[in-house]
Amino acid sequence: MAIYGVLLGPPGVGKGTQAKLLAGKFNLTHISTGDILRDAVNKRTPLGLQVEEIMKSGKLVSDDIINALMEDYIKNLNDGFLLDGYPRTIGQATFLDNFLPRYGKTLNIVLAIDVDDEEIIRRLAGRRYCPTCGRGYHVIYDPPKESETCDNDGTKLIQRDDDKPETIRERLRVYRERTAPLIDYYREKNLLEVVDGSGSIEEVHGLVLEVLERKGIVDKA
């Protein structure tokens, strides 16, 4: 059985990491909203040109444009997929439900990765980047040899604005307000499975595989 899935959860829970692991293991297409937007801009499609103007102005890309981009991308896929960052709202979820059957597809799993807010803040606020070579670090999980200094070139590491605690708390607030209602939406459709994301990448991946095996979506190892 092909996997047609959605990964839910606030920033910092590891959705992208788990999506990449699953995509590699089961030959799935990992569909990230950010990647789709960048691809449309780079290809200079009519929608991509609209997206570019909107992003340059600092505004949010509308649901209508996001929905159109997603439909245009997904309708051409032959294999399974994992959606990461879409849908973000009930409106987007309803649109997804309506257009998938037109292309012979329907969701069969929604994985909500659950991590405590304070752990999310610890994960994201600990990230550091080298502005010269672009290498990333984490002050707890992957620290540089010399404090706050890049191992490659000795440049002082920086913390991006998105990774500052006050910004993370605002991102979490927006998630709870806009996207968290999808938890109940998909629970009512009997698609939702909640996975504890507080463990290591390998531990969380094991829990995800257990869910997929239990649901009969993939064969047991």
What's the CA gap between 146 and 130, in Å, rounded? Answer: 13
Catalytic residue among 15, 122, 123, 128: 15
Q: How far apart are CA 142 and CA 139, in angstroms?
A: 6
Catalytic (active site) residue 15 = yes
Q: Which of 20, 38, 88, 164 is catalytic?
A: 88
Q: Does 102 participate in catalysis according to the annotation?
A: no
- From the list 25, 43, 156, 160, the catalytic residue is 160
Q: Which pair of structure tokens corresponds to residue 97?
A: 């439900």
Is 160 catalytic? The answer is yes
- DSSP characters over the chain: ---EEEEE--TTS-HHHHHHHHHHHHT-EEEEHHHHHHHHHHHT-HHHHHHHHHHHTTPPPPHHHHHHHHHHHHTT--S-EEEES---SHHHHHHHHHHGGGGT----EEEEEE--HHHHHHHHHTEEE-TTT--EEETTTB--SBTTB-TTT-PBPB--GGGSHHHHHHHHHHHHHHTTHHHHHHHHTT-EEEEE-SS-HHHHHHHHHHHHHHTTSS---
Active-site annotation holds for 135: no
Choice among 38, 105, 135, 171 that is catalytic: 171
Q: Is 88 considered catalytic here?
A: yes
Q: What is the set of active-site residues?
A: 15, 88, 127, 160, 171
